[in-house]
Structure 1
Amino acid sequence: MEKVIGIRFRDGGKIYHFDPGPHPVQKGDYVVVNTEQGKGLGEVVEGPFPKNPDVHPKEIKPIERPAQPVEIERHFENLRFEEEAEAFCLERIQALGLAMNLVDVECFYDRSKIIFYFTADGRVDFRELVKDLVRRLRMRVELRQIGVRNQAKMVGGLGTCGRPLCCATFLRNFHPVSIKMAKEQNLSLNPSKISGACGRLMCCLQYEYDTYKYYKQGMPKLGKKVETPQGRGKVIRQNVIDRIVTVLLESGQAIDIEYGPVSEHGAARPCQANLCERRNDAAPSQKGNAQEKPKPSGSAKQDSGQKPRKKKSRSGRSRKKTKKKRAE
């Protein structure tokens, strides 16, 4: 079976998959590959592992060869050059008074181009900054504005769980995260608990969202009125993983009722308990049993001292039509 490896060209960058071919490479080795920007040197961070059969062969490109010691030394020289370029860029940003935050610097392997990643609240006029950088570095310069999530991915750090950030370790792409995912998992909606280092909703909210959404099918919602063998009550808690709902009875007692597994059709059933939603028509209607009172007639209203309603006067247009008919 064909093998593939994951290569990363910079810390916190995206992982690209390549075919190692006949070259025996392992995790931690450096390899030379051909990219759209030219020749590049990257570090093997994944694999080798079997290739996904659903991936088209043209999407997996082969590596050129393992990197030589001289090429690895040049790679580390580029890293030192990036540090010098970053220091000079920070100096010019402060001198020009630009409202921008420099995040990272990336230099191509052959030093044909250098990219400065920055964040800013709005648009920044950095034309003078680019001129100073080109005059000093003598190469193509690009300033690329990124978002706060990409900033956290490049800088790295620790999350509220105490582990390194997912985006800086194994997460390859960002997916949309909504507050609905936190509500579906019955999590606290406190922004300080569900927000990541970037200030946005944490990416890990989507990891178990589909599981909770699937196992909550058929379970009564919070606040729903239900009927149990012990009496009527209201659902106050859901334990989706253990398939248990807690019901507060009208007597004030709280009981736990186990729900059965989800069937093939996605419906859940009570397990050894008669739990069903309480309907509005279950209780006898008082209005239906009460006898309708006869409506008083017009004469009765007059006898009771109430004045009869006056008939509405006809509009001016209807009076004109009546006069016209009489004249004819």
Structure 2
Amino acid sequence: MTRALAVSFEPYGQLHFLAVGGRDYAPGDRVLYPSGGGLEVATVVWRGESDIGEGVPTCAGPATDSDLARDEEHQYRRARAAEVARALIRRHGLAMKLLAVDYLDDDGRGERLTVVYYRAPERVDFRALLGDLVRVLRTRIDLRQVGDRDAARLLGGVGMCGRVLCCAGHLRTVDPVSLRLARTQDVAANGTQHVGACGRPACCLRFEQDSYEDFRARAPRMGATVSTPDGTGRVVGYQVPLDAVVVADSGGERRSCPLGRVCPIRSGRALRRNEGVRTGQERPSRQGGSVRRRIRPRSDQERR
């Protein structure tokens, strides 16, 4: 376990993790996050011990007054660039939606860079827009079209569970999600239970899949007869988050029982088969045997 920090660049924004350096920090502190564009000011929202793995950057220290002033200037430039970009998009009548704007005072080549993220149903001819943005903002411009999932990550929001979107919160990468995962987790493939705010299959289907696979490997099959502390019953449902199964007794009453207190009962057929193996009276297998068909010879009239 490593002492770690979770920081955010914006209120309720995506979480980024840092390894704690030689100092101690508290939630609310402003610290420096090393990124590809230099040191960025972020706010600590959590501290503790966690297995953050390898490749996580180390906190570059607390933010100074000059760092805070530089961050405030960057926020102003991002807000102005977004306002200018929206006005120019409307002027040119382009079918594109502005999502977010980022600003770097040093793009690695000694130039200032403004990155504009947008979404569009198809490719857009933005050559005239690009020239106007360069003349007004006087920086190098990078226009990036993103998909539905990345758009939801940039905009943020609240999912149907009432929490911040996973892609905008704790997920570092978004893996492809297929409808097969919805079927494995007993979610209607044609319903809205598995659809996220982006209109695509929800990301939570992906990182919950391992829990469902582990549960199904340990749980008795649906319809199996089991014994519980409350008596014998039949498995009629799964409760994966609770690590429990739903058992119905002979009267039809259903109870939730922890998986660790459920014991499958073998059927009489299986018991007789196992008993035959132990006593040496198992019926010989017909596998590998041959069955010959009797062919009646045809008469002379049938041959004609």
Q: CA deviation at 1:137?
A: 0.7
Aligned to 1:67: 63
With 31-40 and 121-130 compared, the bigger mean Cα shift is at 31-40
| Cα distance in 1 between the residues matched to 2:219 and 2:34 | 54
| Cα distance in 2 between the residues matched to 1:142 and 1:86 | 13
Aligned to 1:184: 184
| Cα distance in 2 between the residues matched to 1:82 and 1:60 | 25
Does structure 2 conserve the Cα–Cα contact (< 8 Å) formed by 1:75 and 1:109? no
Letter in 2 for 1:84: R
Distance 1:274 1:38, change over 3 A: closer
Does structure 1 conserve the Cα–Cα contact (< 8 Å) formed by 2:28 and 2:45? yes
Aligned to 2:244: 242
| Cα distance in 2 between the residues matched to 1:81 and 1:69 | 19
**1:123 maps onto 2:123 in alignment:** yes
Q: CA deviation at 1:221?
A: 5.7
CA-based RMSD: 4.0
TM-score normalized by structure 1?
0.66
| Cα distance in 2 between the residues matched to 1:309 and 1:227 | 60
Q: CA deviation at 1:28?
A: 2.0
Q: CA deviation at 1:122?
A: 2.5
Aligned to 1:308: 302
SS of the residue 1:3 aligns to:
strand
Aligned to 1:15: 16
Distance 1:258 1:308, change over 3 A: farther
| Cα distance in 2 between the residues matched to 1:75 and 1:53 | 27
Does structure 2 conserve the Cα–Cα contact (< 8 Å) formed by 1:227 and 1:277? no
Correspondences of 1:163-202 after superposition (within 5 Å) = 163-202=163-202
| Cα distance in 2 between the residues matched to 1:276 and 1:208 | 36
With 5-14 and 104-113 compared, the bigger mean Cα shift is at 5-14
SS of the residue 2:303 aligns to:
coil
Does structure 1 conserve the Cα–Cα contact (< 8 Å) formed by 2:18 and 2:59? no
Q: CA deviation at 1:33?
A: 4.6
Q: Which runs of 5+ in 2 are unaligned?
A: 227-233, 271-293
Q: CA deviation at 1:126?
A: 1.6
How many aligned residue pairs are there?
A: 268
Distance 1:308 1:85, change over 3 A: same
Aligned to 1:77: 73
| Cα distance in 2 between the residues matched to 1:9 and 1:35 | 12
Distance 1:84 1:277, change over 3 A: farther
| Cα distance in 1 between the residues matched to 2:258 and 2:269 | 16
What are the Cα deviations for residues 289-316 of structure 1, in whole angstroms up to 9, with x where unaligned? xxxxx976545xx7xxxx5233xxxxxx
| Cα distance in 1 between the residues matched to 2:34 and 2:257 | 56
Does structure 2 conserve the Cα–Cα contact (< 8 Å) formed by 1:237 and 1:246? yes
Aligned to 1:30: 30
Does structure 2 conserve the Cα–Cα contact (< 8 Å) formed by 1:100 and 1:124? yes
Q: CA deviation at 1:196?
A: 0.8
| Cα distance in 2 between the residues matched to 1:4 and 1:236 | 43
Q: CA deviation at 1:53?
A: 8.5
Q: CA deviation at 1:208?
A: 3.4
Does structure 2 conserve the Cα–Cα contact (< 8 Å) formed by 1:218 and 1:269? no
Q: Which runs of 5+ in 1 are unaligned?
A: 229-234, 263-267, 279-293, 311-328
What are the Cα deviations for residues 86-106 of structure 1, in whole angstroms up to 9, with x where unaligned? 121111112222221110111
Identity percentage over the alignment? 29
TM-score normalized by structure 2?
0.70
Distance 1:29 1:277, change over 3 A: farther
Q: CA deviation at 1:179?
A: 1.8
Distance 1:220 1:41, change over 3 A: closer
| Cα distance in 2 between the residues matched to 1:139 and 1:2 | 40
SS of the residue 2:54 aligns to:
coil
Correspondent of 1:90 among 69, 86, 89: 86
Structure 1 segments (4+ residues) deviating >6 Å: 253-260
Aligned to 2:136: 136
Q: CA deviation at 1:202?
A: 1.2
Letter in 2 for 1:37: G
With 201-210 and 238-247 compared, the bigger mean Cα shift is at 238-247
Distance 1:25 1:239, change over 3 A: closer
Correspondences of 1:155-304 after superposition (within 5 Å) = 155-217=155-217, 237-239=236-238, 241-244=243-246, 270=264, 273-275=265-267, 298-299=298-299
SS of the residue 2:214 aligns to:
helix
| Cα distance in 1 between the residues matched to 2:40 and 2:225 | 67
Q: Which has more radius of gyration?
A: 1
What are the Cα deviations for residues 76-128 of structure 1, in whole angstroms up to 9, with x where unaligned? 33223222211211111122222211101111266821111111223222222
Correspondent of 1:106 among 95, 102, 105: 102
